[in-house]
C-alpha cells in the first residue's frame, strides 16, 4: 500500500490522502477514533482527528500524535485488540507489543521465526501469528509470553480473526471457514465455501453477523451461532476480494478487491427493499436509514507530517 486514503462512506467522497509509502496496515482505534498505521519505511504512526473550531464541527484536522520512536522504522503488519487497547506489530522475527493509548514503552516476543500477519483477541490475552512460510498459525499467551497452540494454516492461511466476544478464533482455507474455541483451541463450527483459495471474513460488532467470501467475488452473510445463511451478495467488480469490514452499526458492509477498489453495500436499504416485496426473510431489521438532510460533509486538514 503506497498511501492511506480517507473516505466518507455515506457520501462516497474522498476526503484526504496520506502519502505514507509502504504502508503495511492501517486501522481506526475503536476506543479513541485515532488513525493508526504501520510502515516498512516509517515504522508506527498515529494521527488524531481534531475539530478545527467549535463552530465548524464537520471540519477536522489530522494531527500526528503518540511517540513510538523507540520502535524500529521497518515494521510489518499491525494488529490491535478492541477492548484492552493493546497493539502488536511485526518486526522480522520479533513481535512488538505496546499500549495503544500512546505510551512509548513496549515489550517484545522473540518468536525465533518470521511472521507475516497478526490478530489479537478482544481482551488482549491471546495473539495469533501466521508464519511466513504459511504452514501454521501460532497462538501466544501474551501475559506469560508463551506459545500455547499451533493451528494449521490450510492453503497458507492468509485470513484469520477473533470473534468480537473473544469466544472463537476463525481461520480460512480454500474449502471452508473453521471456528476454533478460544482457550481449548478445539474445532467448532465449519462453514463450507465454493472458492479455490482462502478468502476474507468479517464479524459485525455485536458478533451476530458473519460475512465470508464464498467464492472469487461473492459474499455470504451468515447468522451466528448456528451458521445459517441469510443472503448472498455478488460483487459487480468480479475481481478477487481481499478484505471485508462492517461499519460499527452493522448497516454497511465494505469489500476491497484486488485492484484497490472498495465496494459498499447498504444492508439496511437491502432489508427495506426486500420488505416491500414481502421477501425480508431472516435479515436483521434496521432502524430507518439516515436521511440525506441530516448528513454533514466532512473535511480533513493535515497537521505537520514529518518522516521519522
What secondary structure letter does DSSP report for 62?
E
Confidence (pLDDT) at 261: 83
Write down the residue that cell numbers 494454516 correspond to.
Answer: 153
Domain range list for the chain: 4-302
Strands 299-302 and 59-64: parallel
Residue pLDDT, tens place only, 1-50: 568 888 887 777 787 788 878 899 998 888 778 888 999 888 888 888 77
Biggest CA pair distance of the chain: 59
Mean pLDDT within 219-243 = 87
Q: Where is mean pLDDT largest: 69-83, 97-111, 168-182?
A: 168-182
Query: Which pLDDT score, from 0 to 100, does residue 273 have?
Result: 64
pLDDT at position 294: 45
Task: Give the chain's radius of gyration (CA, Å).
Answer: 20
Question: So what's the pLDDT on residue 219?
Answer: 92
pLDDT value at residue 307: 47
Specify the pairing of strand 126-131 against strand 115-120: antiparallel
pTM: 0.84
DSSP 3-state of 88: strand
**Which grid coordinates belong to 217?**
467475488
Contact 37, 25 (CB under 8 A): yes
Domain at 4-302, CATH class = mainly beta
Q: How far is CA 229 from the centre of its chain?
A: 22
Return the HEC string of 197-209.
CCCCEEECCCCCE
Q: What is the pLDDT of residue 147?
A: 93
What is the percent of the chain with per-residue pLDDT over 90, rounded to a whole number? 31
Examine the pLDDT at 278 and tell me if it is beyond 50: yes
Distance separating alpha carbons of residues 24 and 26, to the nearest angstrom = 7
Q: Minimal CA–CA distance to 108: which of 123, 130, 89, 86?
A: 89
Q: What is the mean pLDDT of residues 104-120?
A: 83
Q: In terms of pLDDT, which residue wins out, 101 or 263? A: 263
Residue 281 has pLDDT above 60, yes or no: no
8 Å CB contact between 242 and 248? no
Instruction: Quote the percentage of the chain above a pLDDT of 70.
Output: 81
Can you give the pLDDT at residue 160?
A: 95
Burial readout 95-133 (b: 16 or more C-beta within 10 A, e: otherwise): bbbbebebeeebeebebeeebbbbbbbbbbbbbbbbbee
Per-residue cell: 52: 478545527
Half-sphere exposure of 15 (CA within 13 A, CB side): 21
- If you write DSSP's letter for every residue of 104-156 in order, what string do you get? S-EEEEE-SS-EEEEEE-TTSSEEEEEETTSSEEEEEETTTTEEEEEEE-GGG
pLDDT of residue 194 exceeding 80:
yes
**Burial of residue 249, with CB atoms counted within 10 A of its CB: 0-12 exposed, 13-18 middle, 19 or more buried:** middle
Highest mean pLDDT among 43-47, 131-135, 171-175, 272-276 belongs to 171-175
Q: How far apart are CA 289 and CA 294, in angstroms?
A: 11
**Residue 292 pLDDT class (50, 70, 90 cuts):** very low
> Residue 200 pLDDT more than 70?
yes
How deeply is 83 buried, as exposed, middle or buried, from its count of CB atoms within 10 A (0-12, 13-18, 19+)?
middle
Residue 305: the pLDDT is 47
Q: Give the model's pLDDT for residue 243.
A: 92
Average pLDDT, the chain: 81
Amino acid at each position: 500500500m503506497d498511501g492511506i486514503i480517507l473516505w466518507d462512506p455515506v457520501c462516497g467522497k474522498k476526503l484526504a490522502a496520506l502519502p505514507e509509502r509502504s504502508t503495511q496496515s492501517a486501522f481506526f482505534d475503536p476506543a479513541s477514533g485515532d488513525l493508526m498505521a504501520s510502515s516498512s519505511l516509517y515504522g508506527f504512526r498515529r494521527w488524531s482527528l481534531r475539530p478545527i473550531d467549535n463552530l465548524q464541527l464537520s471540519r477536522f484536522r489530522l494531527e500526528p500524535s503518540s511517540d513510538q520512536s523507540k520502535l524500529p522504522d521497518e515494521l510489518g503488519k499491525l494488529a490491535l485488540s478492541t477492548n484492552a487497547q493493546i497493539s502488536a506489530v511485526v518486526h522480522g522475527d520479533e513481535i512488538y507489543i505496546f499500549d495503544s493509548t500512546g505510551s512509548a514503552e513496549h515489550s517484545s516476543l522473540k518468536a525465533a521465526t518470521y511472521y507475516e500477519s497478526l490478530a489479537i483477541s478482544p481482551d488482549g490475552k491471546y495473539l495469533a501469528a501466521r508464519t511466513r512460510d504459511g504452514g501454521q498459525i501460532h497462538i501466544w499467551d501474551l501475559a506469560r509470553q508463551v506459545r500455547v497452540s499451533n493451528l494449521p494454516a490450510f492453503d497458507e492461511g492468509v485470513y484469520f480473526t477473533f470473534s468480537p466476544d473473544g469466544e472463537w478464533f476463525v481461520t480460512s482455507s480454500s474449502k471452508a471457514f473453521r471456528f476454533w474455541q478460544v482457550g481449548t483451541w478445539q474445532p467448532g463450527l465449519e462453514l463450507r465455501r465454493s472458492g479455490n483459495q482462502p478468502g476474507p471474513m468479517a464479524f459485525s460488532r455485536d458478533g451476530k453477523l458473519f460475512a465470508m467470501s464464498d467464492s472469487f467475488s461473492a459474499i455470504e452473510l451468515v447468522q451466528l451461532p448456528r451458521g445459517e445463511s441469510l443472503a448472498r451478495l455478488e460483487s459487480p467488480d468480479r475481481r478477487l476480494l481481499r478484505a471485508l469490514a462492517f461499519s460499527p452499526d452493522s448497516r454497511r458492509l465494505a469489500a476491497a478487491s484486488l485492484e484497490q477498489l472498495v465496494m459498499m453495500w447498504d444492508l439496511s436499504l437491502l432489508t427495506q427493499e426486500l420488505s416491500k416485496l414481502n421477501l425480508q426473510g431472516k435479515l436483521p431489521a434496521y432502524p430507518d436509514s439516515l436521511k440525506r438532510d441530516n448528513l454533514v460533509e466532512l473535511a480533513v486538514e493535515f497537521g505537520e507530517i514529518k518522516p521519522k
